[in-house]
Copies of this chain bind each other. A is one copy, B any other.
Amino acid sequence: MEVSAALNISSAEWQVMRVAWTLGQVSSQTVSDVLAEKMDWKAPTVKTLVGRLVKKGALTADRDGKRFLYRPVISEQQAMDTASEVFIEQLCQHKVGKTLLKMVQETTLSQADIAALIATLQEKQKTAPEAVSCNCVPDNCQCADGECNCK
């Protein structure tokens, strides 16, 4: 029995979710209006995506007269965190650091974000290993000399 099968939200569906997360509760009409503007999608396209999201359990539908109002089942932050995990997991663990660095470099962060990041990093520093071994297979990674625990 599947327990918490991290519902898989596609890229197009993600757009719909963002509107739902933003408004908390939306009619398909509203989503259509927003995404007709932003993505140039036709109403039936949005309806299909909404339908798929309901089926996947990412949205719930509550009848409101003639129509339905849809609400996100999972929070945006939760979805983003799950997506991050999936993203990170598929990478060579040795190179995740460099990739996070790139992300930090390329992103606009607030003072608060930066402060939180620095604080967390300083904390991690206390127990961080010299090197993170890569988990590439076969065990023959060309990591630069000594940078990696791989052997």
- Write the residues of chain A forming the contact surface with B, with a CB cutoff of 8 angstroms: 11, 14, 18-19, 21-24, 34, 37-38, 76-77, 80-81, 83-85, 87-88, 90-93, 95-118, 120-122, 124-125, 128-132, 136-138, 140-142, 147
Which residue on chain B has the smallest CB distance to residue A106?
Answer: B85
Q: Give Cα A104 to B35, complex, Å.
A: 32
Asked whether, in the complex, the Cβ of B97 is within 8 Å of the Cβ of A110, the reply is: yes
Question: A103-B103, A108-B132, A117-B121 given. 19 additional CB < 8 A pairs?
Answer: A11-B90, A18-B136, A22-B137, A24-B142, A80-B98, A80-B99, A81-B102, A88-B106, A96-B107, A97-B112, A100-B104, A100-B117, A101-B116, A101-B120, A104-B117, A104-B124, A109-B128, A113-B132, A118-B125
- Among candidates B24, B96, B101, B107, residue contacting A88 with C-beta atoms closer than 8 Å: B107
Shortest Cβ gap from A74 to chain B (Å): 14
CB contacts (< 8 Å) of A34 on chain B: these are 137-138
Which residue on chain B has the smallest CB distance to residue A81?
Answer: B102
Which residue on chain B has the smallest CB distance to residue A139?
Answer: B22
CB contacts (< 8 Å) of A14 on chain B: these are 90
**Residues A110 and B124 in contact in the complex (CB < 8 Å), given A90-B11, A117-B100:** no
Asked whether, in the complex, the Cβ of B112 is within 8 Å of the Cβ of A147, the reply is: yes
